[in-house]
């Protein structure tokens, strides 16, 4: 049995405390499941010591947290003691980037077990999940062709799908948790900027960066949120589907999608309405100017350029060409222009927030396009449009200061997973997660709706050709 077949995190926490399973046993199974290239770094000796410490605490009835003994993967932007931080670069970054911040420290204090550090797009600046410096993790949902796993947290979703982790830490600036979660058939939470500290994480955009989590189900996300959130409140409000107002904005969010994406989302929304939810049209005139700002580069590129040109100049010669292309004219942006773009975004966000509060939750496809074959995004000319489209829906929530969850609801015409994105105003994560739980209970988990990825079945990974 693989970790994909394991009980929920809630059930495993009980089983660990009863001695029915052990942290070392879960780790052994996790290590044996690594076969799709999710990890860039692993320290098995350290993981074994962590599992032994967790088992000792469990045996003494002194488990320090909800995540004690749970195998986790951590995106290679986070500082983790005993493991280098590369941020997608060919060589490790300076040692100061190995220092853990509050999110990783919380996991370690709860005696979670770190299986390894997962692949990322270089400096998290891309949505496809590709990186010329390290082999791209394999999206398990196509048995025959290599497809993009989604980025920038490219290894995170794959680690969950293959069963080498039960919880994955990612980061999300414009979609880097939600895109890989959606494209690998998992759930993901993008927190509001400022809710969780980003200390100890290599920055892309100090303005928009957020720490987030990916898991197999929304219920597992809720457990992780309760364990990590500094507010420390594990209780979520009660949300019922009956009477729940789901806002649908067809402007931008439902446009230009790959075949089967909108259909899968509409099928899920129809099912929710049959169970008592109400689907209401929602005007969000702020989306199009926000999208235009994103297309112009906003200020994220300028913030990354500042990091590279001041603290990490040694990394400039080895920039991924796709990352370098997206930096564009960031070096030429004046301080006044960056400030003007921030001010424009602040105004758009304030207006959009008022519109969003006319409904209970905003619904949309998480990602507009199906995961492309890697051969289809092998050139700068083909990469750019696909990357832009995959970031479109997720970036709107990020730029407008909202929090969002993605959960799997079906497959598109190519047989690849489709995510439903639920979006709420900033700092309303408990209500958002409670709503997502109600949706998951009505629709079923990804395992129910999607089945097992072809490359993760009992026959083992299939041969792949690009």
Catalytic residues: 75, 152, 176
* Pair 394, 178: CB distance under 8 Å: yes
Tokens at 279, concatenated: 């689907």
First CA to last CA distance, the chain:
29
Q: What is the DSSP letter of 300?
A: H
The CA dihedral of 39, 81, 180, 397, to the nearest 10 degrees, is: -170
Maximum C-alpha span of the chain:
61
CA dist., res. 200 & res. 186, Å (int): 25
Helix %, strand %, coil % of the chain (to 5):
45, 15, 45
* Pair 445, 185: CB distance under 8 Å: no
At residue 172, the 3 state secondary structure works out as coil
* Pair 404, 422: CB distance under 8 Å: yes
At residue 108, the 3 state secondary structure works out as helix
Distances (CA, A) of 214 to 173, 193, 223: 15, 17, 11
Pair type for strands 278-281 and 403-411: unpaired
**Residue whose C-alpha is closest to residue 71's, from 29, 43, 99, 37:** 29
């Amino acid at each position: 049995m693989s970790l994909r077949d394991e009980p929920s995190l809630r059930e495993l926490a009980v089983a660990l405390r009863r001695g029915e399973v052990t942290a070392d046993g879960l780790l052994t199974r996790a290590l044996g499941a690594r076969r799709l290239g999710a990890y860039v770094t692993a320290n098995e000796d350290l993981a074994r010591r962590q599992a032994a410490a967790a088992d000792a605490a469990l045996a003494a009835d002194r488990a320090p947290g909800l995540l004690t003994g749970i195998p986790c993967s951590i995106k290679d932007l986070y500082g983790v003691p005993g493991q280098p931080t590369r941020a997608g670069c060919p060589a490790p970054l300076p040692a100061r980037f190995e220092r853990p911040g509050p999110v990783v420290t919380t996991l370690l204090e709860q005696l979670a077990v770190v299986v390894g550090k997962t692949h990322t797009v270089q400096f998290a600046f891309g949505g496809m999940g590709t990186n010329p410096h390290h082999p791209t993790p394999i999206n398990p949902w196509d048995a025959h062709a290599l497809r993009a796993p989604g980025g920038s947290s490219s290894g995170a979703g794959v680690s969950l799908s293959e069963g080498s982790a039960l919880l994955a830490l990612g980061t999300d600036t414009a979609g880097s948790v939600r895109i890989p979660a959606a494209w690998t058939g998992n759930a993901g939470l993008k927190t509001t900027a400022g809710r969780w500290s980003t200390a100890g994480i290599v920055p892309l955009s100090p303005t928009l960066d957020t720490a987030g989590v990916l898991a197999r189900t929304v219920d597992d996300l809720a457990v992780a949120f309760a364990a990590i959130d500094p507010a420390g409140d594990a209780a979520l409000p009660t949300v019922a589907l009956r009477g729940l107002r789901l806002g649908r904005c067809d402007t931008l969010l439902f446009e230009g999608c790959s075949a089967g994406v909108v259909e899968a989302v509409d099928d899920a929304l129809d099912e929710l309405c049959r169970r008592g939810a109400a689907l209401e049209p929602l005007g969000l005139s702020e989306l199009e100017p926000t999208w235009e700002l994103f297309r112009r580069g906003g200020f994220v590129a300028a913030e990354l350029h500042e990091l590279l040109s001041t603290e990490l100049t040694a990394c400039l010669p080895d920039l991924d060409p796709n990352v370098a292309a997206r930096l564009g004219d960031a070096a030429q942006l004046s301080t006044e222009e960056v400030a003007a773009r921030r001010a424009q975004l602040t105004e758009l966000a304030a207006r959009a927030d008022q519109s969003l509060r006319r409904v209970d939750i905003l619904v949309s496809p998480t990602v507009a396009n199906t995961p492309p074959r890697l051969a289809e995004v092998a050139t700068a000319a083909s990469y750019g449009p696909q990357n832009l489209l995959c970031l479109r829906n997720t970036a709107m929530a990020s730029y407008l200061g909202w929090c969002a969850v993605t959960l799997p609801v079906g497959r598109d015409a190519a047989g690849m997973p489709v995510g439903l994105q639920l979006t709420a105003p900033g700092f309303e994560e408990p209500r958002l997660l409670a709503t997502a739980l109600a949706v998951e209970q009505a629709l079923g988990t990804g395992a129910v709706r999607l089945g097992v990825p072809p490359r993760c079945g009992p026959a083992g990974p299939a041969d792949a050709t690009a």
